[in-house]
A = this chain, B = another copy of it.
Amino acid sequence: MSAGPADFEQALAETAAAVDATLDALLPRADGVEGRVAEAMRYATLNGGKRLRPFLVVAGAQLFEVSEPSARRTAAAVEMIHCYSLVHDDLPAMDDDDVRRGRPSCHVAFDEATAILAGDALLTYAFEALSAPETHASAAVRCELVRGLAVAAGCGGMVGGQMIDLLAAESTLDIDGVTRLQKLKTGALIAFACEAGAILGEAGAEARAALAGYGHDLGLAFQIADDLLDIEGSEAETGKAVGKDAAAGKATFVGLLGVDGARDRARVLVDRAVGRLARFGDKADSLRAVARFAIARRH
């Protein structure tokens, strides 16, 4: 299959639409007095995100001929975790961001208490969805998904990374420190998204490790590209405030390596990520296209 940039953008949009439909079907609908929290969960999730992580789950699952419903449910669970983290990160006590994906952040559109609860409920619901028999016939597979997602999202992964990030204005991170921060904050969930297809397909340890390694390299490349966009992008293009990290005096890849150095580093990472896919042949062309997209995108 050929996978030029236009093909890739179309494949990304198609997967986003499919996963959006799954999210829409899975997420609770506002009902009763407590309906406000369901409304906020839907607001924070069904918002036109590009669904990169779901795409990685679906593209990984295709390598092992996993059924589409299984892949989509798993993709939706990963996206719920991503969306909950954005809701909590945007809170005034955290990064204090009023804009997300070009719309008011959840706590602006609702209120802080509802945003905290909607984040909690999305996080919880991801595990509810994954553990249900509809996700996979094998309970062992479902347990591995639950565990892998929890490890990626928890204090040794995404939450730990966010903690470092909040403390980073006070500490002075060097390049190893920033790399570790991003490995936890964004890399762990992206790596799980890449590995999830192999878990669903009950693939061997080597295939799983190759995909997790691809995910870690890809995640870092994406983060470096984000740092570059934070310097070079416009708010209209990225849908969020730009220049914030630099203004907050946070250590970033661009700050530590310079624009050219950061761009070079991202290229090396993308090459390494693509290199890890060799064993999967043509089937992994979608994943190769994601890696190229990571450093070519403008938003």
Contacts and interface: CB of A to CB of B under 8 A. Distances in A.
Given A125-B150, A131-B147, A184-B34, A88 B155 contact: no
Contact of A163 (B37, B167, B180): B37
Nearest to A161: B34
A61 interface: no
Contacts of A116: 88, 91, 93-94, 116
Given A34-B161, A37-B155, A156-B28, A147 B128 contact: yes
Given A143-B142, A184-B34, A150 B131 contact: yes
- Count this chain's copies in the assembly: 2
B93 A113 contact: yes
Contact of A41 (B138, B155, B164): B155
Nearest to A119: B120
Contacts of A151: 128
A127 B125 contact: no
A166 B125 CA distance: 21
CB-based closest 7 A-B pairs:
A93-B112, A128-B150, A34-B160, A121-B155, A124-B154, A139-B139, A139-B140
Given A94-B113, A124-B154, A139-B142, 15 more contacts: A33-B167, A34-B155, A34-B160, A37-B155, A37-B160, A93-B111, A116-B116, A117-B166, A120-B123, A125-B150, A125-B154, A131-B147, A138-B139, A139-B143, A143-B146
